[in-house]
Structure 1
C-alpha cells in the first residue's frame, strides 16, 4: 500500500511550493506535517533556486483547521506529556521560523484557517484571503487556550479585539482579517489556478522579490466585499473588554444586556458557555503577553499547553466537540467564581520534560 504523503513540496521557477495534503481532516496538522514543513523551509533558506515560498492547503474547504487535537484525547491515558511536549515544541518552533524567515512566504488562506492554521499563516509576508476564508482562534471551545503565538499576535490587533476573539472563539470572514492586519490581500478563489500557473512562468528576481510579489498579488486583488463587522463593533468591544478580569468583562456585558443591548446579550451567552478555567487562564495569558517577545510568548505557551494536558476540561472539551460531538461539555469548576487566582497561576509555572 502506498503511504499517503501529508505534505507536498517542490521547487519550480524560483518558487518553493509547500502544500499540506490532508484534505479529509481540513489539513489539520500533526507531528509529521510539522516536521515536513520545517524540513522544507530549512532546506530552502540558503537554496538560491528558491526566491520565495508559497504555502497552501489541498482542497477547497480549508488551508488548515489547526492541530490534530483528537490525537491528544486518544493518548490521554498513555504517555501524553512526552508526545505533547514534542508536538507543541516543534509546532511553535515552526511558527517562529515562519515569522523570522529571510525569504518571502506567500500564504493562501482559503477556507478554514483556525488555531494552528493561524499559527502557520500569521508570520507570512504575503497573506491572501478569499470569499471562503473562515478565520478563528477556536481553542476556547475545547477547554484549551489560544496558542501558536497568540499571546503575541492577538495583542497586536486593534484595541481589545484580540481579547474578544480569544474569549469568544468568534469565526470571522476575510473583511475582518484585512481590518485586523492578519491578512494582506483579498481575492476571489476562482483566480487561484491562474495565479499558480503564472507563478510557474513569471521571472522572479531575488533582488526585487518583495516589491514584485506585492505587485503581482495586487494585480489579482480586489476590495473585500462588505465592511468589517469587527470595525463596526469596535466601540462595544473596547467598552466591555478593557477589563483585566473575566468577572468584570462579564459584569459589563450583563449590565449592557439588562439595558437591551442585543450584541452584549449574545456575547455574554457565548462567553459563559466556555470553560471557566480556560477563560481566566487565557485572559491572564494575553495580559502577560503584552510585555513579551514572540519567542517568550511561545515558551510561555509551551508550558501552558503541558499544564492543560493535565486538565480535565481539555479532555471534556475535545470529547464534546470532536469525539461525541454533543457540544454539551460539563466544565469543572462549572463557574467563573470557582476558579481562583491560585488555580490560574499554576498554568504559568515552568514544566521540565
Structure 2
C-alpha cells in the first residue's frame, strides 16, 4: 500500500508527490490521502523545500477521483460505513490544506482529471492543463453530488458555466478548463516534461521563487490549439441554468429547439433526480460561503449520501454491474420533495445497522 503515493525531493529544493495507482487511474484511497496530508505538513515546516509538484503516474491521467468501490461497501457494515466517512474527512482536509499552502504547489492536470482529482488539484497555486486533459465533475453519473469544494470553485466559473458542468457531468478539454477557471496555464505534454525537468534541475535555494516560477511557466506554456466551446455556449448556458430549480432549468431547455438545449435536457433527465436537486441547492447556497463552509456542507451531504439508496444504485449501474441502467427510487423530480431536499442538508449523525 505504501507505494500508492511516491514522494521525492530534488537537491534544488523541489519536492514531488506522485499518485501511483496507474491501473486504477490513480484513484484516491484513504491510505493515499493520509501520507499526503502528513507530508504536506512536514514539507511546510522544512525550509529546504521551496515548491511542490503534484502529478499522476502512468500515461492516462492525473487522478480519476475517489475510490468508489470502497464507498460502495459503506452499507455492508458499521465499520465499512465509518471507513467511508473517514475517507471524506481525510480527502477534504488534504484539499483544504492545498488551498491554504504557503509554498507554491504545481498541479499537472495531464490526462484524466475527475472528481476527487479536481478537488486535489484545484487549490494548487499553479494548475497546468495539456492537450490530453479530460476534466470533469462526474458525480452526477453515479447518483452522488460534486463534492471536494466544488460548490466553491464552480461558482467561480463565468456566469452559470459551473452549474452546467456540475449538473451535466460534462467532460471538457484544456481550453474549456482554462475558461472555467479550473487551470492557469496550458502546455503540451512535451512542454510539460521539459518544464518538470527544468524545475528538477534548478537550485531554488538561490532564486526568488515566485519570479523564477512565473518566468519558467511563461517560457514553457502556450495556447490550446482549439478555442473554448464553453465560451461560445455561455450565452445559452446562462439563459437556461440561471434558474432556481431543476424543474425550471428543464422547462427552459424544453422550450429551446436548438441542438444544444435538447441534448442538454436529455443529459439532465438521465441523471438521478435527487442528485440534481441537491446539487443545484448546494451551488445556490454556496454563493456567499467561504471555502471552509463549502467543505463543511460537503461533509454533511457526503455522509447523508452514504445512507441514500439512489447513490448505491448509481454506483452499481456504472461501476459494479456497468449496465448503465439505474433504477432510482426517486424516478422523477417531483418525487424528491423540498422536504426530502432539506433533510439532506442536516447533520443527522446517521448509523448503519449491522
TM range (shorter): over 0.9
Which residue is 2:43 aligned to? 44
- Is it true that 1:263 corresponds to 2:271 in the alignment? no
Which residue is 1:289 aligned to? 286
Contact 1:110–1:132 (Cα < 8 Å) also in 2: yes
1:327 to 298, 321, 324: 324
Which residue is 1:7 aligned to? 5
Which residue is 2:246 aligned to? 246
Matched residues, number: 348
- Is it true that 1:120 corresponds to 2:117 in the alignment? no
Deviation of 1:215 after TM superposition, in Å, equals 1.2
Contact 2:18–2:56 (Cα < 8 Å) also in 1: yes
Contact 2:48–2:205 (Cα < 8 Å) also in 1: no
Contact 2:74–2:306 (Cα < 8 Å) also in 1: no
Structure 1 distance, partners of 2:139, 2:146, is 6
Contact 1:81–1:306 (Cα < 8 Å) also in 2: no
Deviation of 1:207 after TM superposition, in Å, equals 6.7
Q: Deviations over 1:168-205 (max 9, x none)?
A: 00000000011112101111112333322222221324
Structure 2 distance, partners of 1:217, 1:62, is 21
Contact 1:113–1:136 (Cα < 8 Å) also in 2: yes
3-state DSSP of counterpart to 2:204: coil
3-state DSSP of counterpart to 2:176: helix
Which residue is 1:130 aligned to? 130
Which residue is 1:189 aligned to? 189
Contact 1:11–1:49 (Cα < 8 Å) also in 2: no
Question: Relative to structure 2, which stretch is displaced further, 136-145 or 69-78?
Answer: 69-78
Question: Relative to structure 2, which stretch is displaced further, 184-193 or 242-251?
Answer: 184-193
2:275 to 253, 278, 289: 278
Which residue is 2:100 aligned to? 100
Taking structure 1 as reference, are residues 208 and 351 closer, same or farther at Cα in structure 2, changes over 3 Å only?
farther
Contact 2:143–2:272 (Cα < 8 Å) also in 1: yes
Structure 2 distance, partners of 1:196, 1:264, is 41
Structure 2 distance, partners of 1:313, 1:352, is 19
Which residue is 1:204 aligned to? 204
Deviation of 1:82 after TM superposition, in Å, equals 1.2
Displaced runs of 4 or more, over 4 A: none
Contact 1:126–1:214 (Cα < 8 Å) also in 2: no
Deviation of 1:11 after TM superposition, in Å, equals 1.3
Q: Deviations over 1:111-145 (max 9, x none)?
A: 01000000011101111110000000000000000
Deviation of 1:224 after TM superposition, in Å, equals 1.0
Runs (5+) with no aligned partner, structure 1? none
Contact 1:163–1:283 (Cα < 8 Å) also in 2: yes
Contact 1:51–1:206 (Cα < 8 Å) also in 2: no
Structure 1 distance, partners of 2:349, 2:41, is 27
Structure 1 distance, partners of 2:90, 2:342, is 25
- RMSD over equivalenced CA pairs, Å: 1.3
TM-score by structure 1 length? 0.96
